[in-house]
Amino acid sequence: MESTLKLRSLLRVLCILLLVPSYVYSQSPGGVRGQQFWYDDKDSTALISNYHSIDLLKMGQEARDSILNIPVSSSLFFVLKGNFAVPMEDTLLQIGDVTLVDVGLYHGGGFTAISFNDSTSKIVSVQTIRGFRMAKDTAPEVNIGDLSKFSVAEVIYYPYYIDRAERRLVNSYLSIKYAIPILQGIEPDWKDYWAKDSSYYWDANKDKAFYVRVMGLGADSDQSFFQSQSIAETGGHFKIALDTPAVQGTMPRTWMAQEGFVIFAERATGPSSINGYCANIRPGKNPLALWKFKATVEWRTWATRILIETELPNGAIADSIFYTDGTHYYHSPWVYKDSKIIRYEVDLSNVQIGKNYMFTKRSSNDQSCNSVVSLDNSGISLSGGLGRISVHSFETGTTFETDLSSDRYIPIGNGQYFVVVTDDQGNETFSELVAVSGKGSKSNLETLSPSLKLYPNPVLSGGLVTVELHDFTETPKTWQLVDALGRIIQEQPLSGSERSVSFEAPKAEGTYTFRVLTSDGVFSLKLISAQR
């Protein structure tokens, strides 16, 4: 795919030579070359996480003059934000056959409804195909509507058709850059945040619990992309910055390695219960309890700390919180607080690339007020009672769930896990990142963790899916495919010798769960069925 983009970029240079300098031809984190179709190197105070802004009045005529023709096929991406309460079907922006109005998008003979009046930014992508005669004989129109109704952060234009995988790269790049939740976009089958080498910034299986908001700090000088500070586009106030926070629209100036990123992700809230006073755990709230972060392999920076700013919750705040990889615990002090926000500090010298970190009130594994869960370096011991446990592997993406009907020991292999215990009412009583890095007191027991490997994922609707079953010591009984509403749409028994399953993906696009049922519990992975 990269070689294809390199060849195509040669054609693209001819169309936008006046606007994009030659050094931007290499790929950005999202796989984009020369992404800023309209470009003005200014700090922005009108856009949430953007460092560069656009002056449409200044650049409008230059855009018209530079698009000499829109070819037979083209691909466009828009990042824009509405600034109006009542839609009137007014034109916001038109480029050739693509017209954005305040109620949606017209593209060729089609229309896609989009709500722009909710004051949140949107990433809109569209592919256009024109008849050869029209492309040859008809000059495209570039019209800019009422600028008081909207602001544009970025417009990306490819004078050719880019395939689905390439579009996912661009969409991921824009989502990270502007802190726009990808799962709330208008592309329902784009669930991952892809890096340009086809690895993930955020993985729909491995990071699936942490999907509410995803934000990143990173740099790519070839793309004029320098993001040393980001502010959440949705939800309550959340801001991350390297070394020192800056006012909105500017960036703290510190060096970051090319294409290196640190990614923050927030999980959905759930009901919780307090089982009395815990003598060895700090009382009070942990404002960062729902967040995790991870530095990519390329991450390097001269910054020494990350400052994290969030809304100050009601009630007492824990006197100390810690960030942990499940084994080591590092103090994260609060360094500023007023009536609205509280700011914490993460020492970057403790952060190892490739590891997940979460925030906790515990300072070691020995501290716990949960009487059900105890950990060692080979697994999890559980005390029987009413409730359920979920053990999710960040390495394989496999989730294991079982009822707490009796005392038991769950051996797990080396790696990081997100463990959640709920009582019989569904309230969370324990949710922590834990890690296994060697053999513990139960080392005489089998420590291989059953896991699932599913491919391809995403899969085109109706396509063939294969699931491999690894290290199952207990014979699997049944496999199921469950839709987003919990309905079983496929189900088959498994024989004792089967270690792989193949089936056709659902015709309807969406997110599904593949489950393997055993006498020990249920193992599951997410499957995404897409139509493009």
**40 vs 184: CA distance, rounded Å:** 28
pLDDT of residue 280: 64
pLDDT of residue 479: 94
pLDDT of residue 238: 93
Query: CB-based burial of residue 408 (10 Å sphere; 0-12 exposed, 13-18 middle, 19+ buried)?
Result: middle
Q: Tens of pLDDT along the chain (532 residues)?
A: 443 343 233 223 222 322 322 223 233 344 444 443 333 344 343 343 444 334 444 445 555 554 445 555 777 778 888 888 888 888 888 877 788 888 888 877 788 888 888 777 888 888 776 544 444 455 556 677 887 788 777 777 676 777 777 778 788 888 888 888 776 555 656 678 877 777 788 888 899 889 889 999 998 766 567 889 998 878 889 999 999 998 776 788 899 998 899 999 999 877 665 444 455 677 889 999 999 999 999 999 999 999 999 999 999 999 999 999 998 999 999 999 999 999 999 999 999 999 999 999 988 877 766 666 776 667 777 777 788 889 999 999 999 999 988 887 887 788 899 988 888 888 888 888 988 876 544 443 344 578 899 998 888 888 999 999 988 877 778 999 999 889 999 999 987 777 889 999 998 888 899 999 988 889 999 998 876 5
**325 vs 166: CA distance, rounded Å:** 33
Peptide bond into 458 cis (omega under 30): yes
pLDDT of residue 7: 28
- Among 124, 150, 4, 15, smallest CA distance to 71 is for 15
* CA angle in degrees (0–180, nearest 5) for 39-40-46: 105
**428 vs 50: CA distance, rounded Å:** 37
Contact 516, 494 (CB under 8 A): yes
Torsion sign (Cα): 84, 85, 86, 89: positive
pLDDT of residue 4: 38
Residue 194 has phi, psi (to 5 degrees) of -90, 140
Contact 186, 193 (CB under 8 A): no
Contact 56, 44 (CB under 8 A): no
**142 vs 96: CA distance, rounded Å:** 6
**195 vs 30: CA distance, rounded Å:** 6
pTM for this entry: 0.83
- Among 213, 223, 347, smallest CA distance to 292 is for 213
pLDDT of residue 49: 46
Peptide bond into 159 cis (omega under 30): no
Residue 285 has phi, psi (to 5 degrees) of -90, 150
Topology classification of domain 451-530 = Immunoglobulin-like (2.60.40)
Contact 103, 87 (CB under 8 A): yes
pLDDT of residue 443: 42
pLDDT of residue 278: 53
Structure tokens at 483: 């839709």
**160 vs 437: CA distance, rounded Å:** 49
Can you list the alpha helix ranges (DSSP code H) found in 17-145?
Answer: 56-66, 132-137
- Among 295, 163, 189, 185, smallest CA distance to 233 is for 185
Structure tokens at 160: 């050719």
